[in-house]
Structure 1
Amino acid sequence: MPARLNVVVSQSRSQNPKKRAIEERIVGELLGSAGIDVAVVPHLYDLSADGPGMLSLSGISGDLVFCSWLFPRAARWTLDRNGIRGQEGTTLLKSLGEDDEEEEEDSAESEDSEAEEKPRVIDQRELPARKIYCLDLRAHDSADDYLEEIRRIAGEASTQTVELMGWIKGDPKPEQLARYLANGDEGESGKANGESKSSEAAVSAGPIVVEEDPARRWYPVIDFSRCTNCLECIDFCLFGVYGMDGQETILVEQPDNCRKGCPACSRVCPENAIIFPEHKTPTIAGSPEIGGPMKIDLSQLFGAPDPGAPGAEKAHEVAARERDEQLMAVGRDAVGMAVGLPKRQAATTTQSQTVDELDLLIDSLDEIDL
């Protein structure tokens, strides 16, 4: 019997009628679908680790389609930080910020080999064989797009087959083998596939609705497919948010220590591995715009003016300013760029010197009367 597909709809924070209509349509349409179990939970990002919502998600063992009002990358790694893990399932739906052109995928593969060879935290992990598909409910206005994709995934899962002979251990007798193969064709009840009692009960009776009233939260989520465990975030953050596990790998140890609205640690991360799912800037909220190590100035993506413009700030300068604002808000002294940014300062100094020398050369050429 094919494994059942689990579909979870994570509700929007708001009571927007259009968003509620999409959620209700998806749940209502899937209730009559064979082989699909449906559950509804509050907004994923707000769920507490030991609350009923996260406990319900932890109890799901098979393939999972997770529909939320977040970027898929943000949803996937929020699930991961709570121990809900699996292989990344491929969806045909485009999320916000994704380009239809395949050229970007080709260019990502041809990026600098040195950057690609960096060890990532995910390389040290063993993920379960199940697949997790994350759908961004903000990307399309119609629930039909999501229903079509979910049914495609369900159909794909139902065609997965297992060779009967692969289950046989040892050296069975001919009569035992014949009986085993006969059961595989008819099932224990003696009925053909699709007519057994288990198949008749394959339609879900109703959705599982998890009742929880979580408060709105703000904390960083680490994308371990990008994180190199450089620990710059733990050096930079002065609020005790980050820690290390037994293997000395970075983790978000005290998420609720994070200052609401402050994304400073995300700005200083050299790999763009820190996500704040509810931030208004897509690249900080987990958009796919940066698909890997890119030869670009990340500070421009984070809203900084063009380099050389009057008053232009680098990403780490913005981060230091944001951190100082939060420190002073709780009665602590500002530290500026003196704490947690030694690597950044050295790199910036070298870059500034190079830029200054180039400016001097250009000025000298301009003064020459040709």
Structure 2
Amino acid sequence: MSRSRITVVLSQAPGKHPAKRSLEESIVAALIMEPDLEVSVVPNLYDLGPDHTGRLFLGSVKGDMVVLSWLYPRAAFWLLDRDGIKGQFGETQLKPPSDDDDAEAENDTPVDRPEPIGPTGEIPDRHIYTLDLRDSNKYEAFVAEIRRIAKECSDRREAKAREKAVNSPAILQLGLSLNKPEPEPLAAFTPEALLAPAGRRWYPVIDYSRCTNCLECLDFCLFGVYGVDSLERIITENQDQCKKGCPACSRVCPQQAIIFPEYKSPAIAGAETGAVGGLKIDLSRLFGGDVGDALSAAVQERDRELVNDGRSAVGATIGIPKRQESQPQRAKDDLDKLVDDLDNLGL
């Protein structure tokens, strides 16, 4: 696999939805004819286990890469990162139409975030672009964007080569070849092996560009999912112990750094959101609730899974985020008084 060609990987949607399959097939059929692209198809990215051929193939790619999936771009990028498939985040220009107005609103109200801890390990000198297949129902839009990305990557490689030639002129050494030996070819990955069925999975993905290592998720989760590495950085240590459908730890994260890529709420699934308000539960739309709404939902979700596990519910007695404990008691507003009146009525 040549580093001068960009690798395009399409991650299929789980299930056999005909419209989704049709879009996937149209994109692959168009791209496979492009001379500067290497195109492969793998099952749902989120479901790939460490020994799945699709995961091994992704890990073998050394150059620039485009990954198309049915996940938000941020979720897909950090999902790859957690699997050791690292690179620079590639900016894309294909956005859903509704994002234009949202982007303007976000630019008007910038959000201050604490300094994140950032990804671990060495980041290769390559870019990974992640495209959300929900951003358009026309395959031509994705083909055009990938062609643009391929041109961008080619221009970047050429610019680096020119810079290297200027700064490091070749030195002739008698008896030695100036050409580096060709790297050994990678093992072949057959389409059948790449598309081997993958079992459905459920686990959190940490966005280290937001995570501040506050460890609130570690304190809140009582199922042993989280741990810390040798540098005392938060990691998902036992992901298979995560309870399917439960996103409670994501709700208590102050920086929205914990992603469940297939959850129904966009903020938890990895959409680009600016404020913690994106995590409010439905009642907040009626009553204008605050972050406490998300915390209450998280406590209820955790208790439900504890009971399903044969354990006792703990309510808000364990693992409540420190930022909630330290907040001063505010004066009761009209909503608080209404809730108190309802409590007094025994409703």
Q: Which residue type is aligned with residue 94 of structure 1?
A: K
Which runs of structure 2 are paired with 1:273-288 in the superposition (5 Å)?
273-288=257-272
Alignment of 1:154 with 2:133, yes or no, is no
- CA spacing shift, 1:356–1:213, aligned 2, 3 Å: same
2:39 partner SS: strand
2:284 partner SS: coil
Q: Is the 8 A contact 2:6 2:66 kept in 1?
A: yes
Which runs of structure 2 are paired with 1:1-370 in the superposition (5 Å)?
3-95=4-96, 98-100=99-101, 103-104=104-105, 106-107=107-108, 110-112=110-112, 115=113, 118-122=114-118, 126-159=122-155, 160-161=157-158, 162-163=161-162, 164-170=165-171, 210-288=194-272, 290-291=273-274, 294=275, 297-300=277-280, 302-306=281-285, 314-341=293-320, 343-347=322-326, 350=328, 352-355=329-332
1:224 partner SS: coil
1:314 partner SS: helix
Tell me how many residue pairs correspond in the alignment. Answer: 319
Aligned equivalents of 2:89 and 2:111: distance in 1? 22
2:99 partner SS: coil
Q: Is the 8 A contact 1:274 1:284 kept in 2?
A: yes
Aligned equivalents of 1:259 and 1:313: distance in 2? 22
The Cα of 1:321 is off from its aligned counterpart by 0.8
Which is worse superposed, 23-32 or 84-93? 23-32
1:19 partner SS: helix
Q: Is the 8 A contact 2:220 2:321 kept in 1?
A: no
The Cα of 1:21 is off from its aligned counterpart by 1.2
Structure 1: tracts of 5 or more residues without a match: 174-179, 184-205, 361-370
Q: Is the 8 A contact 1:41 1:53 kept in 2?
A: yes
Q: Is the 8 A contact 2:217 2:249 kept in 1?
A: yes
Bigger CA radius of gyration? 1
The Cα of 1:231 is off from its aligned counterpart by 0.3
Aligned equivalents of 1:44 and 1:259: distance in 2? 19
Aligned equivalents of 1:306 and 1:23: distance in 2? 36
- The runs of at least 4 consecutive aligned structure 1 residues that moved more than 4 Å come to 123-126, 206-209, 306-310, 356-360
Aligned equivalents of 1:214 and 1:233: distance in 2? 28
- CA spacing shift, 1:307–1:314, aligned 2, 3 Å: farther
RMSD of the TM alignment (CA)? 3.1
- CA spacing shift, 1:212–1:90, aligned 2, 3 Å: same
Aligned equivalents of 2:243 and 2:61: distance in 1? 32
- CA spacing shift, 1:72–1:359, aligned 2, 3 Å: closer
Aligned equivalents of 1:207 and 1:358: distance in 2? 58
* TM-score using structure 2 length: 0.82
1:126-164 residue CA offsets vs partner (Å, 9 max, x unmatched):
422200000000110111100010111112222341123
- CA spacing shift, 1:303–1:272, aligned 2, 3 Å: farther
